[in-house]
Amino acid sequence: MAHDDKTPTFNWRIREQLFGRRILVLDGPLDDDNGALLMTQLLTLAAEDAEAGISLWIHSPGGSVPAMLAIRDVMRLVPCEVSTLALGLACSAGQFLLSAGTPGRRFALPHARILMHQGSAGIGGSAVEVEVQADDLRYTVQTVLGLISEDTGQPYDQIFEDSLHDRWFTATQAREYGFIDGIVDSFWQVVPQRQRVGIS
């Protein structure tokens, strides 16, 4: 039986160093805990400097829909540019956050893969409960697909059709579809730029 007791290599010290450089990381599944952390970090950095950019680096198989919607709300709320970067994998909620970055500031590494799909939800209980859950799921799906349509420039019907089954995109395909604006070819594309203060 395998034991997952290895020391994590991406620890809090590294995260704090990146935070000090205005870089946030979503690595692994998005859940309520790391979702709330990302939201508070975005707000904290914006309060610290409303003009300097923030970067969100993504390597995630997806996760919580409420968390991803809340993070997008905060990304739109803060006055800073929020650049997004797909490091290797941006699936479902990862894809949603990737495309929710500031237009012109959404990137992917050359061999990153992006996955779009509607996701699924377990529905059960009495007939009335099933109906209520189905209505809520329908509303959530329409909301998410509408926002993806807004962020990519693709028609809603196209987004709906493409999300019915898992659809994988290369970085080039993701750029053509509108998930990202560019494929990284320079280090400075992925590092937040602070405003220079002083006498020139």
Give catalytic residues, as residue numbers: 92, 117
With 0-12 CB in 10 A as exposed, 13-18 as middle and 19+ as buried, what is 30? buried
Nearest alpha-carbon partner for 35 in 17, 60, 52: 60
What's the CA gap between 92 and 119, in Å, rounded? 7
- For 16, 64, 147, the CA distances from 102, given in Å and listed in that order, are 23, 21, 14
Provide the 10 A C-beta neighbour count for residue 15. 16
With 0-12 CB in 10 A as exposed, 13-18 as middle and 19+ as buried, what is 91? buried
110 and 171 Cβ atoms separated by less than 8 Å: yes
